[in-house]
Amino acid sequence: MAYVKPEEIVENMLQAGTNKASLSIKDLLIRGALSGAFLGYATTLAITGITQTGLGIVGAIIFPIGFVMIILLGLELATGNFALLPIAVKDKRISISQLAYNWTWVLFGNLLGSILYAFLYTIVVTKMGHIDPETIVAAKKIIAISEGKTLGYAKYGFDGTISAFTSAVLCNWMVTLGAVMAFTSTTTIGKIVAMWLPIMTFFALGFEHAIVNMFVIPAGIMLGADVTITDWWMLNEIPVLLGNVTGGMIFTGFALYFTAKR
């Protein structure tokens, strides 16, 4: 009785996209900021798990905690909305301008929450700058990740940009599938288990998620990574955002819409 059929799932996706398009700027900013902060929490928890155990899979198992909190609280995450709102436009339930309005304010909220958490986290782990981040295992890991997600692509030139974009496509295929899987059950535990699987998959494979990167790259910069704000946006954030939009909209949103809509 807890299972929801694909046809009903798509209808729920359409209703969710329509509802999200009607939220006020205040709600989009607050819900978006909370989502950014929660993903920051989940990322630092996952990194802590990885550094303590030496096992990357431990971080992947832990990370979906943040996503579960976002979905169960009905918060706003831009990468999930990349799948839900385009099909509502296609179904003539909302307009393109409503889609742009939602994506813009949610992204801004996600960015604010991510950077705020990065700033507060940096204060805590460095004790207001009194401890060298290079002596903190988790901080060193964040610095390495930050440089890898920017300078690691830069050395390959345009091929690196294409790699970041493609990684983002594959990432948000799974992330948006996680958001949709929450519609497959009417029970809380069923939603959690269904969401967990694709989110764990993307994190374990190391694909690029724009909102996670809104935390981890600025955090790396604050901790001393050899990365500039220009590096962050040009080498990672912009191509990753475009890839996340493509993956979520085409491979989850439209794919399910065209095959399962009643």
Going by C-alpha positions, the residue among 37, 19, 129, 117 that lies closest to residue 77 is 37
Q: 93: domain CATH number? A: 1.20.1080.10
Residue type, 202: F
pTM of the model: 0.96
Give the structural domain span for 98. Answer: 6-126+135-256
pLDDT at 125: 97
Query: How many angstroms separate the CA atoms of 53 and 227, rounded?
Result: 27
Is there a domain that residue 233 lies in?
yes
Is there a domain that residue 261 lies in?
no
Is there a domain that residue 262 lies in?
no
pLDDT at 91: 98
pLDDT at 204: 97
Is there a domain that residue 199 lies in?
yes
Distances (CA, A) of 208 to 130, 148, 172, 240: 32, 11, 8, 6
Going by C-alpha positions, the residue among 10, 183, 28 that lies closest to residue 98 is 28
Tokens of 98: 């409503």
Is there a domain that residue 57 lies in?
yes
Q: Per-residue pLDDT for the chain (262 aa), expressed as one digit of tens each?
A: 589 999 999 999 999 999 999 999 999 999 999 999 999 999 999 999 999 999 999 999 999 999 999 999 999 999 999 999 999 999 999 999 999 999 999 999 999 999 999 999 999 999 999 999 999 999 999 999 999 999 999 999 999 999 999 999 999 999 999 999 999 999 999 999 999 999 999 999 999 999 999 999 999 999 999 999 999 999 999 999 999 999 999 999 999 999 998 8
Is there a domain that residue 1 lies in?
no
pLDDT at 8: 96
- Rounded to 10 degrees, the C-alpha dihedral 19/63/171/262 comes to -40
Is there a domain that residue 164 lies in?
yes
pLDDT at 37: 98
Please report where in the chains the tokens 């299972």 appear, as a residue. Answer: 3
Is there a domain that residue 115 lies in?
yes
Going by C-alpha positions, the residue among 167, 19, 173, 27 that lies closest to residue 108 is 27
pLDDT at 262: 80
User: What total of structural domains would you count in the chain?
Assistant: 1
Going by C-alpha positions, the residue among 221, 257, 262 that lies closest to residue 13 is 257
Query: How many angstroms separate the CA atoms of 29 and 43, rounded?
Result: 21
